[in-house]
Chains A and B, each alone.
Chain A
Amino acid sequence: MIAALMVLLLGLVVSAAVPAGALPLVNRVRPSTVVPLLAVGSVISAASVGVMLSLLAMAVVGRVPAVAALGGWSIATLAVAVPVPLAVGVPAAALAAFLLARTLWRAAHILLLLGRSDRLSRRLRGGGGPIVVIDDLSADAFTLAGLKGAVVISRDLLDALGPAERHMLTGHEMSHLRWRHHLYVHAVDLAVAANPLLSAAADAVRLGVERWADEDAARLIGDRGVAATALARTALVRASLRRAARRDARATLPVLALVGSHVADRARALLAPAPRGAAPTAFMATLLIATIVATVASTLQIHNGFEHAETAWLTGSHASSHRPARPQDRGTAHAITVVGRISRTR
């Protein structure tokens, strides 16, 4: 029990540490190293907190007479073997149920959007390659996720750009597609749904995949300075095209008011030397392995508690020591216990 709370605490510390260190890491270390590290770290940390909350919840739910009868364990022994106070267990159960529902909802939503995106990208590609240029006045460029996926660039944006800007654009989007960057974003989004403390990690991963694609495009161009200028110029060209499009009813795509893709930060990062800082892989790995080991250990401990309670129930010692948590429950609990025993012997 003490161990379980310690693990929960450890999980919370990791949840707090991952996002706090995330943004500085994205600026210091190669994005292709940081992004997977952050995604895996967030998922493990969210999962361990989820497991610990569920275990605390189980310890309390297991003392409900109906549940105990169904599972076939002694309530009294369970209360001793896994002494989780109600004041801890009940909120934990509520929180675990809420976070689980949130995560499932999020997962369903991501799958829905992925399905739509996949259908659209197949339709746009029409059997051709992954880069699709569309005749449209949206001045847009984006990567559609999906099993196939596609890079969509509107003709007016492409036509307005010079050679370096075009390289920056196509190189960037091809990097998103090739490394399946959307999967990291999905992973960290699910982790945040399960553990809202991690939300800063999601921002860092979003910025990280853009930086990753920028670095790949800069390598294609062969000059970081030219790449930075190309990025800045593309952003400005697009902004002025969008202003024109907003006045033009022929634009098929909606003009979005989505601010905050950190273009200036990204351009500045390209002007600085390529990030060479070492990722704190060893530190992160140690923290995560400790989390996993502690989670497994306390799971086993609580599992043992349940085994004890089950043995107590089977050997019949529950008949004398069985004390339902609330006296008024005794009648029902006893009846259900008997039913449980009968169904068990059949």
Chain B
Amino acid sequence: MNGRRPELGRLESAALAVVAASSEPLTVSQVQAQLPADPAYTTVMSTLTRLARKGALRQIRDGRAYRYELAAPAASIDDALTARQMRRLLGDGGDRAAVLARFVAELGEDEERLLTELLERTHRPDRGGPP
């Protein structure tokens, strides 16, 4: 159903999320270290190679190995048509939720206070997590 490009597998999408979250290009072992369930080094390497072949990642030669980063540089939406399409989708009506899922929507005042309290509470009993 996805045209020429096959859908991403579970490991592929996780690896892509890890690389996208990093502010600098990552080596295979750095990606491996951040993936859950300890996949084998060679598995991670072939996953990253596949993502590069699909055009999702770019390989940067670093000595004898590769580092990986997101293929597309930050896109600019200065281009008038893209900006207009974007504004139309995000802006009109209450129906956008049907098409796009936002990470977090606008916060109400109550919610902001609740979240601040929640952060303070989880931080007191040492770093990293609830009691």
Q: Which residues of A contact B (CB under 8 A)?
A: 109-110, 113-114, 116-117, 119-120, 123-136, 140-145, 147-148, 151, 153, 155, 163, 166-167, 169-178, 181-182, 185-186, 189, 206, 209-210, 213, 217, 219-220, 222-226, 228-229, 231-236, 238-239, 242, 252-254, 256-261, 263-264, 267-268, 271
Contacts and interface: CB of A to CB of B under 8 A. Distances in A.
Given A220-B18, A232-B115, A264-B114, A120 B74 contact: no
Interface of B: 1-3, 5, 7-8, 10, 13-14, 16-18, 20-23, 34-36, 51, 54-57, 70-72, 74-78, 81-83, 85-91, 95-108, 111-112, 114-116, 118-119, 122-123, 128-130
Most buried by A among B10, B20, B122: B20
Contacts of B118: 228, 232, 264, 267-268, 271
Contacts of A116: 85, 88-89, 99
16 contacts: A109-B95, A113-B96, A124-B75, A135-B77, A144-B89, A170-B17, A170-B18, A170-B21, A174-B8, A175-B13, A182-B99, A185-B97, A235-B111, A238-B104, A252-B77, A256-B91
Given A141-B103, A169-B103, A178-B8, A131 B20 contact: yes
Instruction: Report the 7 A-B pairs with minimum CB-CB distance, sorted nearest first.
Output: A129-B56, A225-B129, A261-B105, A166-B21, A128-B72, A170-B17, A141-B103
A295 to B, nearest CB: 27
B20 A170 contact: yes
Nearest to A128: B72
Given A117-B89, A127-B55, A176-B101, A134 B17 contact: no
A228 B122 contact: yes
Given A109-B95, A224-B129, A147 B111 contact: no
DSSP majority for the A interface? helix
Nearest to B111: A264
A140 B101 CA distance: 11
B100 A167 contact: no
Contacts of A217: 17
A182 B101 contact: yes
B86 A120 contact: yes
A253 B88 CA distance: 10
